[in-house]
Amino acid sequence: MTAVRKPARPLTARRAGSYHRFMTSKRYLLSQAAALVLCAVALVLAMQLWDADIDVPFHSWGDAVMTVVNVGGASETGWVSNFSLLGGQFGLDSNAFPQTEGASSVLIFLIARVSRGIGMTMNLFFLLGFFLATATALHVFLRRGFHPALSVAAALLYAFLPYHLLRGEYHIFLAAYYAAPLVLDLALRIAEGGGGALPTAVPSAGAGAGGSAAQGRDPARTWTAGAVLVALLAGISGAYYAFFSAFFLLFAAVVRTVRDRAAGRRAPLRPYACVGLVAAALAVDLIPFAVHLLRVGSTAGAVVRGSAEAEVYGLKLAFLLLPVQGHRIPALAELTQAYMRSGVYSNENSFAALGVVGAFGFLASLVALLFARPRTDRPDLRMLGTFQAAAFALATVGGFGSLFALLVSKEIRAYNRLSVFMAFLALLAVLLLLQRAVDRLAGRRRAAAAAAVAVAVLGLGLFDQTTPAMVPTYAANWQAYMDDAAFVQAVEAEAGAGALVFQLPFLPYPEHGPIRKMIDYDPARMALHSKTLHWSYGATKGSAEAAWMEETAALPAAEMIARLRGTGYAGIYVDRAAYEPAEAQALEASILAVAGKAPVVDGDARLAYYPIR
């Protein structure tokens, strides 16, 4: 007689009794602790952190210097749009274009209270993103009843997506995608017809993906409280993630309505309120921008977008499924490079690679959407496939996102960034398949199999998703950082505390592009090292401040220096990389003839500071 194998007992409300008991259970806490320890180990290995200097930004060129501006502002004031060390006598105010990083700004402000400078703050915030993504993903997986070992493996793969490591500190706020698992869990529960929102209700064992509210609690109250928390967090996690969260929640509400009406039930309206909550939180984030508009009027020239950019930065199926750039296996790396050489619009959309594990889950959910029968014992593959299909239809080149950019708003353009949500759905599909396979075993065999499968999947996934090319160039960053630090220290000694420094050539902020070998945002690097000096870079395009800076920079040396002296500037900084050699020599000779004092020059003779007081 064949023994009847009992299915795995998920940690759910029937066992935990309530959400509080679930969160404080030994099994949950040990799983989270183990995941965070493994995350730290994986971080050290994947990024070779033994070579890093925590005070030196991991990435310090291009858009990563834009991060210096935002992190500096958030460190000072708790908001990314204000930074007193840039913008000269006016100060830098980025509110000429929307800033929607409320959650990240709070975290950065708190980190800055214990860090030694902007560089350390940047690094700690970036590293924190891996732990937060691990914790939120694992929370959702455990809450849905998956085996702890399998859940830990999947959570780590989610935290170490190529998307995360390739964006690095260049797109540091996009790398903070820890809210996505919470939003998707809520959206799935809405679509599945469950009453519980993520933080306040846990499904009963065997009750299906929707489940019931935790024992002893009012389902309506717990659903509302949980939905509010998740939706508000989504709304202050950046404009892109707020937009994508609203999309998934709206899609889930529509799916719920269609299913309820097909079953002859009255569809609830509360799921639609979640979309409104996301919008309301985003609106709060936009208050400084609105105030700025009331104060100065239109800022349309600060950042110009075009509807065609939704095509340029749209999601491409090939990049979802192809190996990550610079894969450890040369043949796989060449495969991706061959596509990038032959294709069009290869840019940050190549960061969307799901990895071999995620790609399997993505394809499995789509196959299930077409061929599988509905199941009710766990999150349904068909439902995951439905969400994946909707996401792809929105984000792909020529998809609904392109129509949205054309007809509604051009501000959301990089739809490839939706891939981080699709990656979580893909890993959820993998977990579902692995759990079903493990549940066929009995007793200790089940636990041993789950552990073995988790180790294999985690090892394969991390090998596939991380590459040596993702390791920052620590030595080069350190040398450039120290050269800049020595130069700024010398300028401070010459200029004195609190001095104003005018930077040449004039470079509008933001998104101007390079001027010869001086790339965008380069002048902001000086603020990494200065505690008191105020640098002129940071005047927003189209503003009166930018007009003053540009007009001053164009004056002959004698007139420019007279105006700067009258405004309180102590000296002029020249980036020679932005000029032809003869042009730089003529400019500096004219400045020296009026100022009368030899310049302070950095170690590689690129930067020069001329005292004019």
DSSP character string of 525-579: GGGGT-SS-EES--PBTTSHHHHHHHHHHTS-HHHHHHHHHHHTEEEEEEEGGGS
Select from 156, 177, 198 the last residue of a domain: 177
Per-residue model confidence (pLDDT) at position 390: 97
DSSP H/E element including 600: strand 600-601
Residues 371 and 494 both lie in one domain: no
CA–CA separation, 69 and 240 (whole Å): 20
Select from 131, 162, 177 the last residue of a domain: 177
Per-residue model confidence (pLDDT) at position 15: 37
CA–CA separation, 140 and 378 (whole Å): 13
For the chain, give the longest Cα–Cα distance. Answer: 102
Residues 272 and 321 both lie in one domain: no
CA–CA separation, 322 and 353 (whole Å): 6
Amino acid at 38: L
Sort strands 500-504 and 92-93 into parallel, antiparallel or unpaired: unpaired
Per-residue model confidence (pLDDT) at position 84: 83
Instruction: Tell me the Cα Rg of the chain.
Output: 27
In a domain, 198, yes or no: yes
For the chain, the domain total comes to 4
Is 384:368 a contact under the CB 8 Å cutoff?
Answer: yes
Length of the chain: 613
In a domain, 462, yes or no: no
Residues 264 and 325 both lie in one domain: no
Task: Please tell me whether residue 417 adopts helix, strand or coil conformation.
Answer: helix
Per-residue model confidence (pLDDT) at position 227: 84
Per-residue model confidence (pLDDT) at position 332: 95
Amino acid at 75: S
CA–CA separation, 435 and 432 (whole Å): 5
- Cα 606 to the center of its chain, rounded Å: 33
Task: Please tell me whether residue 19 adopts helix, strand or coil conformation.
Answer: helix
Please tell me the chain's helix, strand, coil percentages from 3-state DSSP, rounded to the nearest 5. Answer: 60, 5, 35
CA–CA separation, 391 and 560 (whole Å): 54
First-last CA distance in the chain: 97
Distances (CA, A) of 172 to 26, 58, 160, 175, 522: 34, 11, 14, 5, 17
Residues 297 and 339 both lie in one domain: no
In a domain, 467, yes or no: no
For residues 139-164, one letter each, b for 16 or more C-beta atoms within 10 angstroms of the residue's C-beta and e for the rest, the string is bbbbbbbbbbbbbbbbbbbbbbbbbb
Select from 177, 192, 217 the last residue of a domain: 177
Is 540:512 a contact under the CB 8 Å cutoff?
Answer: no
Residues 194 and 157 both lie in one domain: no
CA–CA separation, 249 and 231 (whole Å): 9
Is 542:298 a contact under the CB 8 Å cutoff?
Answer: no
CA–CA separation, 240 and 248 (whole Å): 12
Residues paired with 601 in a beta bridge = 608
Residues 502 and 587 both lie in one domain: yes
In a domain, 375, yes or no: yes
Per-residue model confidence (pLDDT) at position 290: 81
Is 569:501 a contact under the CB 8 Å cutoff?
Answer: yes
DSSP state of 122: H
DSSP state of 58: S
Per-residue model confidence (pLDDT) at position 20: 67
Domain membership of residue 561 as a residue range: 474-611
Residues 272 and 347 both lie in one domain: no
Residues 154 and 37 both lie in one domain: yes
Is 520:111 a contact under the CB 8 Å cutoff?
Answer: no
In a domain, 540, yes or no: yes
Neighbours of 235 (CB within 10 A): 28
Residues 158 and 192 both lie in one domain: no
In a domain, 468, yes or no: no
In a domain, 234, yes or no: yes
Per-residue model confidence (pLDDT) at position 298: 63
Token pair, residue 399, equals: 């998809």
Which residues of the chain are modeled with pLDDT < 70? 1-20, 194-223, 297-304, 374-379
Looking from the CA of 376 toward its CB, the CA atoms found within 13 Å total 8
Residues 166 and 196 both lie in one domain: no
Neighbours of 393 (CB within 10 A): 11
CA–CA separation, 557 and 572 (whole Å): 10
Residues 172 and 190 both lie in one domain: no
Residues paired with 93 in a beta bridge = 82
pTM: 0.89
Interhelix angle 148-159/26-47, rounded to 10 degrees, is 40
CA–CA separation, 385 and 268 (whole Å): 24
CA–CA separation, 550 and 557 (whole Å): 14
Per-residue model confidence (pLDDT) at position 271: 87
Distances (CA, A) of 131 to 157, 296, 411, 459, 536: 12, 41, 30, 18, 37
In a domain, 567, yes or no: yes
Residues 54 and 107 both lie in one domain: yes
